[in-house]
C-alpha cells in the first residue's frame, strides 16, 4: 500500500478545513439555548443529541488530511470527557479558536515552536487564575444549579442533587435506561472497583466504551488465572445457566485472556476479566471486603476453596454492573449483612487506634466502600431516542455536579474565561514576539465561548461580548432570560475542574497541530481506516 504525503501550507489548510467541519457541527450545541444534532446510528431510530463528544466521535471525513484535523479536535473533547465528564463542547470551541489563528500565523512566518510555548504558558496561566476564583459548593441548591446548567432541565438536576446528597461524595450514582416514560431516583446498595476490564474484547462491536451487564455473577480469587481449565467447573455451569460473570483476579495470563475473548466472540459465555486493585495486604483486605459485599466466597487454596473446586454457588451477585476502561460499578449487591457489619466494626476500631494520617485516610475510604451507599437514576422517556438523549444529558450533569463538589464553581456562561482574559492581558507578556503571539491566541480564544453562547441564543455575540468585557466580576449574560445578572445569585455556574480541563486540553491539541509541517496517509478506502 502506497502513501500520500502533503507538506506546508496546503497540508495545514486541509487540517483547518477538517477542524472547522467538526467544530462547526459541535459548537451549535453550546449553552442553554444550543441546538441539537441528529445522528444516524446505522440501526433503528436516529439519535438526537447536544452532547459534544458524542457528535464529534461520529464525524468521519472522506478526505484523510481533513479527517486528521477532525480526529485531533475530537481527541481534545474525549480527553476532557475522560478527565471531567463534561465540557466537551467547550473544549471543541476553544480548540478551533486556537488552531485556526495558530496555523495561519505559522503560514505567515511565525515560529510554531515558540508559539506552542506561548499557547501552553497562556493556557496554564488562565487555568491557574480561574482556579483561584473558585467558590466551594456548600448547599444542595448550588449543586442543583451546576447540574441544571449542564443538562438544561431543573427537574433532572434536582434528581442528581438529591442522589449526590444522599450518597455523599464517596457514594455511587449510576444511570439506567427505564422502560417507563418517567425518570425517577432509587436508593440502593452499590460499590465501585477502581479497575476496569483487563482486555477490550468485551466492548468490541458496540458504540459504547463500556459494558452494561444485568444480574451478573461475581467470581473473586486471590490467585492469578493462568488457564480456563482452572475454573472449568464454574464456566460449564455459567454456560448452562446463560448468566454472565465478572471475574476479579490479581492478574490474567495472555492464554486466559485469549480464551475468554474467543468464547465471548462465539457467544458461548461472557466472563469479563477485571484485575484486582492494589497490592499486598491492601489487595487482600479489598478482596475480602468485596466478598462480603457481593456474597461471594474467596476462591483460593489459602482460603480453603481452590479454583478447580469452585462452582456457581460460590459466586456473588449484583443487580447490574457497568464495566468501563478504568472502573467497574456494581449496584444492588446482595452481600452478607452480618459479615459486612463485622468488617465495618473492625475498620472503625482500626480508625480510632490509627495515628498515621495516611493510613487513617485509607481506612476511612475502606469504611466508605463497605457502607456501599448508591443511587440509580432510571432514565425514562416516551421513545428510545428521547431516552438515550436524556441519558447523555444526565451523564454530563452528573459528572459536572461531582466535579463541583470536588473543586468548586466559577461564573458560568463563558464568563470565567472572559474574566481571566481581562485580568491576564496586562501581565501576560513575553519579550519574544512569537511566544507573545501564542499567548495572544489563548487570550482571544477565551472570549469565544461566551460569544458563541450568545449567538446560539439568538443575540449579537459581539455586542454581548463587548459589554461582558466591561462588566464587574461575577456579572454576566443570562442567555435564557436575556438579562444581565450576578451569575452566582441566579445559579449560572460551572465546575472549575470542567472549565480548566476544557481549556488545557484544547491548548495541548492546538499546540501539537500548529507545529505540524507534513501529513502522511495510507492510500485506500475510508472503511480501511481505524475508527475513533
311 plus 232 within the same structural domain: yes
Q: Phi/psi class of residue 474: alpha, beta or left (left: φ > 0; alpha: ψ in -120 to 50)?
A: left
Q: How many helices and strands in the chain, by DSSP H and E?
A: 18, 19
Sequence-distant (6+) residues with CB within 8 A of 82 are none
36 plus 114 within the same structural domain: yes
Cell output for 458: 439568538
172 plus 273 within the same structural domain: no
Residue 280 lies in a domain: yes
Rounded to whole angstroms, the Cα distance separating 362 from 219 reads 25
Rounded to whole angstroms, the Cα distance separating 293 from 311 reads 19
Cell output for 411: 461564573
222 plus 312 within the same structural domain: yes
* Residue 355 per-residue DSSP state: -
Return the residue matching grid coordinates 468464547.
263
Please report the pLDDT score of residue 1 as a whole number: 65
Contact 37, 25 (CB under 8 A): yes
Rounded to whole angstroms, the Cα distance separating 307 from 520 reads 51
**Number of other CB atoms surrounding residue 111 within 10 Å:** 18
Please report the pLDDT score of residue 231 as a whole number: 95
Rounded to whole angstroms, the Cα distance separating 143 from 398 reads 10
Task: Read off φ and ψ for residue 431, nearest 5 degrees.
Answer: -65, -25
Residue 143 lies in a domain: no
Please report the pLDDT score of residue 287 as a whole number: 94
Cell output for 312: 456457581
Task: Tell me which H or E stretch contains 270.
Answer: strand 270-275
Return the residue matching grid coordinates 501539537.
512
Kindly report, residue by residue over 335-392, the tens digit of the pLDDT.
Answer: 888 888 898 899 888 888 888 877 887 887 788 788 777 788 989 888 888 888 898 8
516 plus 444 within the same structural domain: yes
Residue 8 lies in a domain: yes
Residue 458 lies in a domain: yes
DSSP per residue over 429-488, as a string?
A: --SSHHHHHHHHHHHHHTTHHHHHHHHHTTS-HHHHHHHHHTSPTTEEEETTTTEEEETT
Please report the pLDDT score of residue 527 as a whole number: 52
- Alpha carbon 137 to its chain's center: 21
Rounded to whole angstroms, the Cα distance separating 448 from 465 reads 9
Return the residue matching grid coordinates 448550588.
142
Residue 467 lies in a domain: yes
Return the half-sphere exposure (C-beta side, CA atoms, 13 A cut-off) of residue 155: 7
Residue 145 lies in a domain: no
Rounded to whole angstroms, the Cα distance separating 80 from 367 reads 31
417 plus 505 within the same structural domain: yes
**What is the 3-state secondary structure of 169-210?**
CCCEEEEEECCCCCCEEEEEEEEEECCCECCHHHHCCCCCCC
User: What predicted TM-score, i.e. pTM, was given to this entire model?
Assistant: 0.72
365 plus 503 within the same structural domain: no
Q: What length does the chain have?
A: 532
382 plus 478 within the same structural domain: no
Please report the pLDDT score of residue 532 as a whole number: 42
**Number of other CB atoms surrounding residue 86 within 10 Å:** 35
Output the domain CATH number for residue 48: 1.10.560.10
Return the residue matching grid coordinates 501581565.
427
**Number of other CB atoms surrounding residue 168 within 10 Å:** 12
Contact 405, 495 (CB under 8 A): no
Task: Tell me which H or E stretch contains 411.
Answer: strand 409-411
Its domain, for residue 29, covers 3-135+408-528
Domain boundary among 335, 353, 369: 335
Residue 142 lies in a domain: no
Angle, helices 415-424/448-456, rounded to nearest 10 degrees: 150
**Alpha-carbon distance values, 111 to 437, 509, 516 (Å):** 10, 17, 12
Residue 141 lies in a domain: no
160 plus 199 within the same structural domain: no
Pairing state between β 373-379 and 172-177: parallel
Please report the pLDDT score of residue 370 as a whole number: 84
Please report the pLDDT score of residue 142 as a whole number: 92
Closest listed residue to residue 86, CA positions, set 457, 427, 412, 352? 412
Please report the pLDDT score of residue 529 as a whole number: 52
Rounded to whole angstroms, the Cα distance separating 80 from 52 reads 11
pLDDT in tens, the chain (532 residues): 688 889 988 888 999 999 999 999 999 999 999 999 999 877 777 888 888 888 998 899 999 999 999 998 998 888 887 776 678 899 999 999 999 999 989 888 889 999 999 999 999 999 999 999 999 998 999 999 999 988 888 999 999 999 998 887 656 788 888 878 889 998 777 888 989 999 998 888 776 788 999 999 999 999 999 999 999 999 999 999 999 999 999 999 999 999 999 999 999 999 999 999 988 888 999 999 999 999 999 999 999 999 999 999 999 999 999 999 888 999 888 888 888 889 889 988 888 888 887 788 788 778 878 877 778 898 988 888 888 889 888 988 998 898 898 899 999 999 999 999 999 999 888 899 999 999 999 999 999 999 999 999 999 999 999 999 999 999 999 999 999 999 999 999 999 999 999 999 999 999 999 998 888 988 765 555 554 4
Domain boundary among 289, 316, 335: 335
Output the domain CATH number for residue 157: 3.30.260
Kindly report, residue by residue over 30-48, the tens digit of the pLDDT.
Answer: 999 999 999 987 777 788 8
Instruction: Give me the number of domains the chain comprises.
Output: 3
237 plus 324 within the same structural domain: yes
Listed in sequence order, the DSSP H helices in 326-410 are 337-353, 357-371, 384-407
263 plus 327 within the same structural domain: yes
- Burial (CB count within 10 angstroms: exposed 0-12, middle 13-18, buried 19+), residue 281: exposed
126 plus 8 within the same structural domain: yes
Output the domain CATH number for residue 232: 3.50.7.10
Please report the pLDDT score of residue 447 as a whole number: 97
Amino acid at each position: 500500500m502506497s502513501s500520500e504525503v502533503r507538506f506546508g501550507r496546503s497540508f495545514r489548510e486541509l487540517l483547518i478545513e477538517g477542524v472547522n467541519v467538526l467544530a462547526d457541527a459541535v459548537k451549535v450545541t453550546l449553552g442553554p439555548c444550543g441546538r441539537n444534532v441528529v445522528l444516524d446510528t446505522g440501526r433503528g431510530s436516529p439519535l438526537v443529541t447536544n452532547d459534544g463528544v458524542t457528535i464529534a466521535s461520529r464525524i468521519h471525513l472522506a478526505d484523510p488530511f481533513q479527517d486528521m484535523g477532525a480526529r485531533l479536535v475530537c481527541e481534545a473533547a474525549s480527553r476532557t470527557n475522560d478527565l471531567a465528564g463534561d465540557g466537551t463542547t467547550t473544549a471543541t470551541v476553544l480548540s478551533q479558536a486556537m488552531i485556526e489563528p495558530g496555523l495561519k500565523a505559522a503560514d505567515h512566518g511565525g515560529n510554531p515552536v515558540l508559539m506552542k510555548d506561548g499557547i501552553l504558558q497562556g493556557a496554564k496561566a488562565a487555568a491557574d487564575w480561574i482556579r483561584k476564583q473558585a467558590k466551594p459548593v456548600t448547599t444542595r441548591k448550588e449543586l442543583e444549579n451546576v447540574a441544571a446548567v449542564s443538562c438544561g432541565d431543573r427537574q433532572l438536576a434536582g434528581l442528581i442533587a438529591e442522589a449526590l446528597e444522599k450518597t455523599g461524595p464517596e457514594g455511587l450514582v449510576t444511570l439506567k435506561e427505564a422502560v417507563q416514560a418517567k425518570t425517577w431516583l432509587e436508593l440502593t446498595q452499590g460499590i465501585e472497583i477502581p479497575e476496569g476490564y483487563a482486555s477490550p474484547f468485551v466492548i468490541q462491536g458496540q458504540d459504547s466504551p463500556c459494558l452494561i451487564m444485568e444480574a451478573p455473577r461475581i467470581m473473586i480469587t486471590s490467585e492469578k488465572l493462568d488457564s480456563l481449565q482452572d475454573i472449568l467447573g464454574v464456566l460449564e455451569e455459567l454456560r448452562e445457566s446463560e448468566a454472565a460473570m465478572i471475574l476479579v483476579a490479581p492478574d490474567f495470563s495472555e492464554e486466559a485472556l485469549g480464551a475468554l475473548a474467543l468464547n465471548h466472540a462465539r457467544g458461548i459465555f461472557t466472563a469479563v476479566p477485571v484485575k484486582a486493585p492494589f497490592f499486598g495486604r491492601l489487595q487482600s483486605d479489598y478482596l475480602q471486603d468485596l466478598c462480603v459485599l457481593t456474597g461471594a466466597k474467596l476462591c483460593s487454596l489459602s482460603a480453603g476453596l481452590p479454583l478447580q473446586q469452585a462452582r456457581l454457588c460460590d459466586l456473588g451477585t449484583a443487580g447490574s454492573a457497568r464495566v468501563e476502561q478504568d472502573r467497574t460499578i456494581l449496584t444492588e449487591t446482595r452481600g452478607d449483612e452480618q459479615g459486612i457489619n463485622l468488617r465495618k466494626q473492625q475498620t472503625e476500631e482500626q480508625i480510632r487506634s490509627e495515628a498515621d494520617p495516611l493510613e487513617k485516610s485509607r481506612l476511612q475510604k475502606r469504611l466508605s466502600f463497605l457502607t456501599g451507599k448508591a443511587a440509580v437514576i432510571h432514565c425514562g422517556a416516551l421513545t428510545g431516542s428521547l431516552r438515550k438523549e436524556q441519558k447523555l444529558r444526565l451523564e454530563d450533569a452528573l459528572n459536572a455536579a461531582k466535579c463541583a463538589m470536588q473543586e468548586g464553581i466559577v461564573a458560568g456562561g463563558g464568563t470565567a474565561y472572559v474574566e481571566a482574559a481581562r485580568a491576564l492581558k496586562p501581565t501576560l507578556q513575553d519579550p519574544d514576539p512569537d511566544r507573545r503571539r501564542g499567548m495572544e491566541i489563548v487570550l482571544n480564544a477565551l472570549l469565544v465561548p461566551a460569544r458563541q453562547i450568545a449567538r446560539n441564543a439568538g443575540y449579537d455575540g459581539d455586542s454581548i461580548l463587548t459589554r461582558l468585557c466591561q462588566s464587574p466580576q461575577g456579572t454576566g449574560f443570562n442567555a435564557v432570560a436575556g438579562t444581565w445578572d450576578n451569575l452566582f445569585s441566579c445559579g449560572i455556574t460551572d465546575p472549575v475542574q470542567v472549565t480548566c480541563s476544557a481549556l488545557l486540553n484544547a491548548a495541548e491539541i492546538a499546540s501539537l497541530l500548529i507545529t505540524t509541517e507534513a501529513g502522511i496517509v495510507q492510500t485506500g478506502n475510508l472503511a480501511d481506516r481505524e475508527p475513533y
